[in-house]
Structure 1
Amino acid sequence: MDWLEEVKKYKEDLIEDVKGIIAIPSIKDTPKEGAPFGEGCRKALDHMLALGEKEGFTVKNIDGYAGVITYGEGEESVGMLAHLDVVPVGEGWSKDPFAMVEENGYLFGRGVLDDKGPAMSGFYALKMLKDNHVKLNKKIMLILGCDEESGMDCMNYYVKHAEVPTIGFTPDAEFPVIYGEKGGLHVQISGDTETVIESMHAGERMNIVIGKASCVVKEWNDRATDMFDFYLKSNGLKGSVAYTGEKAELMIEGAFAHAAMPYLGNNAALHLLNFVGNCFHDKFAADTYEMLHDWQGKPVDIFMESATMGFLTMNTGIVNIENGHVEITIDIRYPLETNADIVMAGFHKKAKAINYALDITLEKDTKPLYVDPNSELVTTLSNVYRKYSKDETTPNMTIGGGTYAKKFPNFVAFGPEFPNRTQPEGMFVGGCHQKDEGIRVDDLLCATAIYAEALEKLAK
């Protein structure tokens, strides 16, 4: 079966169903009975399970944490893990993020790439297998989670209460095969301190580079206005200041990006700390900036470059300061060659050296993922990808992003982003967690074909 030719028959229906799931704002919200991650996530889950039931698949709701759409039978199973929650919209969109549009061969909307579009690709891969009566020896389970972007508690619950597939993949990264993922640390800085910053609340998710931030400072004068203007110009930034008497609200625009690639963003909160530290000789702000400004962690001596996984990365994702009380959350992605003990030792050594009074604690440690790149799983998926993409040169790889693959044994990440894609002329297409998030229609169709054949080969 040439699944790429087959999926073209489903093109319009696939696009329409992607539009339907994008229309549900499934951002994590206040938990309610039966909706542990909020009503939006539950509505998205119900929507997908209803589609599965309509097509005659076996569906199961795992207490609102996740759902399963199953095709076929067998003691062994192949899983495809996708998520229905999305990150907050952010700013700068030129389109309605929840009213998917198609322009010049691209689909735009929050989640078309991460991860609702790929989830629907998985669903249509199952649908094509079923419609063509493909005989399988293993059952296929499309597992849909609702909390990937905020800690993966959905999968923590799932593995305790539902069937774990024997083998599989998640369509939540890049092609070819992602056989390794860095470990993930959440580090917290907290406590009370003296600072001219009266209040500062920046960042919505620790896995997003803070693209815009503001703070209120207690002291202001004309000299500070001139210094702020100079700071903005010298760093190529946009910002503003509004002041009344001796108080001022400062705002800086940076650039949003995924925390796994902080070098693609520009952290506005760190810029504010840098300015305040220098302008007001504020020890807290200056010391915090000194520790956190480098995405490789060199100031705290946690720099690490791995031959298989690349650099350790660090992102300051959430900053909350109110009347001297500080809560800062840091997202760190680390390769196999280091660990949480080494990272925390680096922070504590630096804090002691600069007499940093706030507490620095480890909140969470997710171990790295590594699957043998010569395993049957990796080679099978890789061969299918190369068959349909005609790409014979891009190597299988490891990444800094964390996916559901870490939660299940014998799982890897597999697509949907194709390598070497460039921005179309005259139009901006955002990536994961960015404004104007988009995916090329032909890429979505090709990914669906790849997933259909990959599931077919793994389930035979």
Structure 2
Amino acid sequence: MKPLEQKFEQRLDRDWPAITAALRRLIAVPSVEGPAAPRAPFGVNPRQALTTGLEIAQEAGLTTGLAGDAVGWGEYRSPAAATDDYVGIVGHLDVVAAGSGWHTPPFELTITPTQFLGRGVLDNKGPWLSALWALRWLAEDGAPLKRPVRVLAGSNEESGSQDIPKYLAEQPAPIWGYTPDGKYPVVYGERGILRGAITWPIDTAVLGPQFAISGEFSPAIVPDRAALTFPDGHQEHFHGKKAPSNAPELGDNVLDHLTAAGTQLPGGAGDLFQWYQAHFAGAFAGEHANIRFTDPVSGALQLTPYRIALSGDHLTLAFSIRYPLNTTEDEIVSNLRGLLPAGAALTVTSRMAPVKHDPHSPFIQALAKVYTDITGTDGSPVTTTGATYARSMPNIVAFGPSFPGQKGIAHKEDEWLNISDFRRMLVINYLSIQALANL
């Protein structure tokens, strides 16, 4: 990596106390989705995060706004701007639940000599703040930008991005822009995402009333803790290694261990666990389930089983799949259904189609150039396994915050962001906003 120019280092040092104070305020809000409340469609804590973000934007001297009590923004409009077509930088201030296993308080900003730690420092409060601070610098400089710029803060990205339709019902979409919620270099394509459930009939009379399955299960992660209570009442606990659901190869799925221990259970439960061992266990790319699809641009399919649950007279196996750009949902579902025995059924519970932009478009190439200039490394546009606002907001691509080689950080305990990366990111945002606003 190239060192940052001294003028940027000096400016960062000057603002560092204020930057860290603002980040501390954001991290302190436990902005996990909750029940809807007045003026808080996704819960009072995500709404409080928006309020905090808008206060920081106002203190930065930016014009602020709020749409649908769901998306806020700070805006800079230069006197040189001759259009209402604005550039949008779209981050989010909601977070996933903290979960267990933290070594630092998840909703307190911890600062070490090299890192920030806390829920949201990477996903996505830290990157959002870096973009807002970059816009603050441009406003302070009186930068003659041809287009207005908004740094938007969403409040429901982690739970379905239902905030974006509320915004678009009141505001026009940006002419182009990015979300700092993926990776570097600029991402021009995001895989399709399919979540499904296989229901498997069981004989509850054979299993008895003591049979149970419990654990920490979420579609966002590879699960790492679970327990199985056998029909005779004895219980076994299993442990794996947590990882984001879009990086299953970095984890150790606890369901692989639980099902291995239960293959001799009577009736349908044992049959399901045997089926899991044959088709899902250790098969990150779906290689044992006849769904090993791949393409040269976006790589191999990813399979993440994330929950087994007992419900009445059946067990439900829930899974998440991220599939390549040239694969279809129908291919995946058809092949999986072909492996199921009579009585078992597969249902698609949610879907997100792939998204793809032209990697040669001017705004994507402008971002690629800034990245190359600042880092001294290859900025060629790439694809990702992640899911960002690029699927919900028109004309948006993912750009940052993770640098090459950084993977499996978000949605886990001890979420971190390198301080040096934050500083570099702020400069990248400053130059990228400037470039996009003057296209």
Query: Normalised by the size of structure 2, how large is the TM-score?
Result: 0.90
Query: How do 1:291-310 and structure 2 match up within 5 A?
Result: 291-293=279-281, 294-310=283-299
Aligned to 1:427: none
- Matched to 1:332, the amino acid is I
Aligned to 2:422: 444
Number of equivalenced pairs: 422
Deviations 1:119-163 (A, max 9, x none): 111110111111111111111111111121222222233333432
Aligned to 1:411: 396
Say whether residues 1:385 and 2:385 are aligned partners. no
Aligned to 1:49: 54
Query: How do 1:415-430 and structure 2 match up within 5 A?
Result: 415-420=400-405
Aligned to 1:457: 435
Cα displacement (A) at 1:297: 1.4
Say whether residues 1:17 and 2:22 are aligned partners. yes
In 2, distance between residues paired with 1:439 and 1:250?
36
In 2, distance between residues paired with 1:4 and 1:372?
34
- 2:186–2:400 CA contact under 8 A, matched in 1: yes
Aligned to 2:136: 127
Q: Residue 92 and residue 194 in structure 1: after superposition, are their counterparts in 2 closer, same or farther (change >3 A)?
A: same
Cα displacement (A) at 1:368: 1.1
Cα displacement (A) at 1:394: 6.0
Cα displacement (A) at 1:420: 4.0
Query: How do 1:57-456 and structure 2 match up within 5 A?
Result: 57-72=62-77, 74-190=83-199, 192-194=201-203, 196=207, 198-218=211-231, 246-278=232-264, 282-293=270-281, 294-351=283-340, 354-355=341-342, 357-391=343-377, 393=378, 395-420=380-405, 431-456=409-434
Cα displacement (A) at 1:419: 2.0
Q: Residue 250 and residue 155 in structure 1: after superposition, are their counterparts in 2 closer, same or farther (change >3 A)?
A: farther
Deviations 1:165-187 (A, max 9, x none): 11000101111111111011111
In 2, distance between residues paired with 1:350 and 1:154?
38
Aligned to 2:39: 34
- 2:68–2:166 CA contact under 8 A, matched in 1: no
SS of the equivalent of 2:234 reads: strand
- Matched to 1:453, the amino acid is L
Moved more, 164-173 or 263-272: 263-272
- 2:284–2:304 CA contact under 8 A, matched in 1: yes
Deviations 1:300-329 (A, max 9, x none): 211111100011111122332245443333
- Give RMSD over aligned pairs: 2.1
- 1:202–1:320 CA contact under 8 A, matched in 2: no
SS of the equivalent of 1:452 reads: helix
Q: Residue 248 and residue 297 in structure 1: after superposition, are their counterparts in 2 closer, same or farther (change >3 A)?
A: same
SS of the equivalent of 2:332 reads: helix
Query: Normalised by the size of structure 1, how large is the TM-score?
Result: 0.86
- Matched to 1:8, the amino acid is D
Instruction: Please identify runs of 4+ aligned residues in structure 1 that moved more than 6 A.
Output: none
- Matched to 2:284, the amino acid is W
In 2, distance between residues paired with 1:421 and 1:295?
19
- Matched to 1:341, the amino acid is D
In 2, distance between residues paired with 1:410 and 1:389?
25
SS of the equivalent of 2:244 reads: coil
Q: Percent identity?
A: 27
| Unmatched tracts of structure 2, length 5 or more | none
- 1:55–1:127 CA contact under 8 A, matched in 2: yes
- Matched to 1:111, the amino acid is G
Cα displacement (A) at 1:278: 4.1
Deviations 1:356-380 (A, max 9, x none): x232111222111212222211211
- 2:61–2:136 CA contact under 8 A, matched in 1: no
| Unmatched tracts of structure 1, length 5 or more | 219-245, 423-429
Cα displacement (A) at 1:90: 2.2
- 2:186–2:379 CA contact under 8 A, matched in 1: no
Moved more, 28-37 or 304-313: 28-37
